[in-house]
Structure 1
Amino acid sequence: MIQFTAVNTELKILATNAAETERQGHPVRDSLIAARRTGAFALRTPAAFGGAGAGATRVARELAELGRACPATAWIAGTCATAKTLAAATFPEDVQRDFFADPDVLACGVGFPGGRVERDSDGIRVTGRWPNASGCEDATWATLAARDGDAVVLALIPVADLTIERTWRMAGMRGTGSHTLVADGVLVPAGRLAPVPRPARAADRLLIQLTVLGPVAGAARGALDVIGEMFASDRKPFMTAYARMGDAPGARHWLAEATRLVDRAERTMLAIAATVDGDELTGAVVPRLQMDLADAAKDCRDAVDLMLDLHGASGFAETNALARYWRDVAVGSRHPHLNPYLAVENYGQALTPAA
């Protein structure tokens, strides 16, 4: 089971501010400071530049811990880890030294090539639009994919050089501020533009997918915390003779089933991470692990649905923490990195001999 560690104080700050983070659409200042103190934004800063250089297991565990307290802040930390993973894999050391000057710097990014590269007498310019840039309102750097002729390149651009259009209006993960970044002929030094490695390293691809699953698994555990408080209280099942929730065999059964699903999602996540950290990722291993990722995400959704059945209609109140976890799990678990039907398709293709 994922448990809060020695950074309990910071995680409590995140949990206390989670509702306000959702309301204002991005993490409150105290939550950002607390997340930074946990080292969440330095997880994938290379050790050579003062970061953790963390492997998949540590990244998954720590994002899940954050997600248990505040899924939106954990999601932004995951996006930061992805941006830094790509920057470290793409750019030479001198460019990285500038990008990672502050190992705890918050970075955002979009892997879809939403922009184009243009050249004029002044130098290299980038123009485009990148939706769903989680954390962009608080980030210092953006890693943005763009097309340079037929090639796809990654550009490192200070967020201050970009415009933010507030386009993120979603049922869940509202606190991630995943708005649209816009570049209108932004000058980019040649060194901050580099071809995206093709294909990307399998370990990097899976680690990036774990940065999406971690916050979702943590959110499911956070929802279970809410239900645990309900069972510890004197609340009784409505329209029954039971004195409290724990007296009802049916309620105990569903609690056990929800807990089993959350536990299984965490075990699956950590098993994937251990494989990424320790094994050679060849053949059909990667698509099989991607299927496992999708299965873990579904376990999280199914678990929270059971918890809402246990709680009843009041669990959907806007002010109920369970409803917030439900919204965040429902949206976060449907990220393309956790897409179940594409995972099945890719695994089947890997198992089928080429014609």
Structure 2
Amino acid sequence: MLDDVRALLPAIRARAEQSERDRSIPRESAQEFLDIGLARVLLPRRYGGTELGLQAWVDLCIEIGKADAAHAWCASLMMHHPHYLAQFPDSAQADVWGDGPDVSIALTFTPTSKVEFVEGGYRLSCAIPYLSGINHSTRVVIGGMVPTDRGPPDWTLFLIPGQDFTVKDTWQTVGMRGTGSNTVVVEDVFVPFEHTLRVDDMRESTTPGTKLNKAGMFRAPWIYYAGLTFVAPMLGAARGALEDYRAWTAERVSLFGSQVAQYTSIQVHLARAAANLDAAELLMQRCVQDAERPDATRHDLRTRAYRDQSRASELIVEAIDMIMKISGAAGFASTSSIQRAWRDVHFAASHVGLNPEVSFAAWGRQQFGLERDPKQGMF
């Protein structure tokens, strides 16, 4: 799979600027991802998936990110959203994969849908922004709050088929422009009970799919992989910028005729940036390894994973800032891959799931023996 991805990288690199202009990765890129089997990486074998596992997902995202962060972001979701669907009841899985596994699914956890109980399920209406990859997706999963008679409402995911949603072009940003993260509009759509999934069950690893799909990655609590969806493309983009900077600077000559690569300050900054990226990757690898531990539901492990994903994001931002700093004015050229990676990494790091003020506090509360913040739904 890595070989297949690497064969696509020259085309992805060549399409990066087009993706920015169009505010969406090209259809041919999405189709090439499907053709090499990216959507099968975390998809159950019983529906034609390969179940390559969470580490393969992360590694593939990093590799694609070296060429373009927006492509890697969309590829990350194309691989990972089947992992979410695999935790739904089996009838939902059969509805999507009954005719084959190569399906792109867009997903948002944002629980802003208007939800109404009806016989056999719910009726939903919403206009939810920021659904990355929606332009090449034929299914969407959206969030909403289901009222209960036992207290707080249930944060729930709802599977919506392609004929029941429309896309509104709203994506105008300075970073991650190529992700096509437009607004999905759903108007009074019926969703049967068996096409829904409680977020609490994902958090505690008690989903319907856990009993159906036996691989360890389907039993992993949500928090171990939630943030990796975004951190892996960030890491790939920063590694790509580092590689581009190293190749460019090896041939650079200063205004005074000296070789830029000979400057000790340049060497030190390059080493520091590379060490940050390696440290971020090690934190990510521990999250992946802990996800399938027999005691993975332990709160100290879950809060550590939450903390580590945010810290990995911070390390990547620090690294890309170092690379940008030593690139000088030339790094800000509109054609520079380094400035595009810099913008994309900063934009991705602003995702709510990577907020260190929240995740670090969650770990700190656990360390002091304090109760989990009830407003925290992720771990």
TM (norm. structure 2) is 0.85
Do residues 289 (structure 1) and 295 (structure 2) align? Answer: no
**1: distance between equivalents of 2:256 and 2:37?**
48
1:150-165 mapped onto 2 (5 Å cutoff): 150-165=153-168
How far 1:26 moved relative to its partner?
A: 0.9
Residue pair 2:77, 2:229 contacting (<8 A) in 1 also: yes
How far 1:6 moved relative to its partner?
A: 5.0
User: Which AA in structure 2 matches 1:206?
Assistant: Y
Identity of aligned residues (%): 28
Structure 2 residue aligned with 1:176: 179
- CA spacing shift, 1:194–1:343, aligned 2, 3 Å: closer
TM (norm. structure 1) is 0.90
> Secondary structure in 2 aligned to 1:214?
helix
**1: distance between equivalents of 2:204 and 2:125?**
25
Do residues 303 (structure 1) and 319 (structure 2) align? Answer: yes
Structure 2 residue aligned with 1:98: 95
> Secondary structure in 2 aligned to 1:203?
coil
Count of residues in Structure 1 that have an aligned counterpart in Structure 2:
349
How far 1:317 moved relative to its partner?
A: 1.9
How far 1:192 moved relative to its partner?
A: 2.2
User: Which AA in structure 2 matches 1:23?
Assistant: R
Do residues 227 (structure 1) and 213 (structure 2) align? Answer: no
> Secondary structure in 2 aligned to 1:156?
strand
Residue pair 1:147, 1:153 contacting (<8 A) in 2 also: yes
1:85 aligned to which of 83, 86, 104: 83
Structure 1 residue aligned with 2:190: 187
- CA spacing shift, 1:122–1:164, aligned 2, 3 Å: same
Structure 2 residue aligned with 1:347: 363
- CA spacing shift, 1:316–1:5, aligned 2, 3 Å: same
Residue pair 1:10, 1:37 contacting (<8 A) in 2 also: no
- CA spacing shift, 1:294–1:108, aligned 2, 3 Å: same
> Secondary structure in 1 aligned to 2:145?
strand
How far 1:35 moved relative to its partner?
A: 2.0
Structure 1 residue aligned with 2:212: none
2:346 aligned to which of 304, 326, 330: 330
Residue pair 2:57, 2:80 contacting (<8 A) in 1 also: no
Residue pair 2:105, 2:141 contacting (<8 A) in 1 also: yes
**2: distance between equivalents of 1:179 and 1:16?**
23
User: Which AA in structure 2 matches 1:73?
Assistant: H
Structure 1 residue aligned with 2:146: 148
Residue pair 1:207, 1:273 contacting (<8 A) in 2 also: yes
- CA spacing shift, 1:4–1:110, aligned 2, 3 Å: same
Do residues 256 (structure 1) and 253 (structure 2) align? Answer: no
How far 1:342 moved relative to its partner?
A: 0.9
Q: Report the RMSD for the aligned CA atoms in angstroms.
A: 2.3
Gapped runs of 5+ residues in structure 2? Answer: 148-152, 206-219, 372-379
How far 1:240 moved relative to its partner?
A: 3.5
Do residues 133 (structure 1) and 135 (structure 2) align? Answer: no
